[in-house]
Amino acid sequence: MKIVSDNKVVYTPIEIIKYETFLRRFKGLMFRRKPIAKEGIFLFPCNSIHMFFMFFPIDVVFLNEQKQIVYLKESVKPWTVIFPIKKAVSVLELPANTISNYSLEVGDTIEF
């Protein structure tokens, strides 16, 4: 995954896996026991998430059509719901602490 903004270009070792069917998006990371470490889940189309039946926190990044960050939420705990985010058309579910480790900010662009 590559992060681009006006003052930085950062490459991360995180591999993005696309979940584009309804069933894959709905299940997402539910029932998975081990936290994700070097992978992220790309949900499209999607502008909200639920953390039902999750066993670990994750970072969540909401993207617009240009894959530009429009909203960030760190360490989202199991059983949390994030309601629809305006301007978001897709979501990245990332390992906890990814947002702070790579200094992600609203306005950054994600490439993968």
Render pLDDT for 9-63 as a digit per residue (tens, 0 to 9). Answer: 989 999 999 998 999 988 889 999 999 899 999 999 999 999 999 999 999 999 9
| Helix intervals (H) in 1-112 | 22-27, 98-101
Query: One-letter amino acid identity for 64?
Result: N
Residue length, the chain?
112
Which pLDDT does position 82 carry in this prediction? 98
Closest CA to 112 of 20, 24, 41, 7: 41
Please tell me the distance from the alpha carbon of residue 82 to that of residue 62, in angstroms, as a whole number: 11
Do the domain assignments include residue 86? no
Average pLDDT over every residue of 54-83: 98
On average, the pLDDT of the chain sits at 95
Do the domain assignments include residue 26? yes
Count of domains forming the chain: 1
Do the domain assignments include residue 66? yes
Question: Is the per-residue pLDDT at 85 higher than 90?
Answer: yes
Do the domain assignments include residue 34? yes
Enclosing domain of residue 60: 2-81+95-103
Closest CA to 52 of 27, 77, 74, 79: 79
Which pLDDT does position 20 carry in this prediction? 87
**Of residues 112 and 64, more confidently modeled:** 64
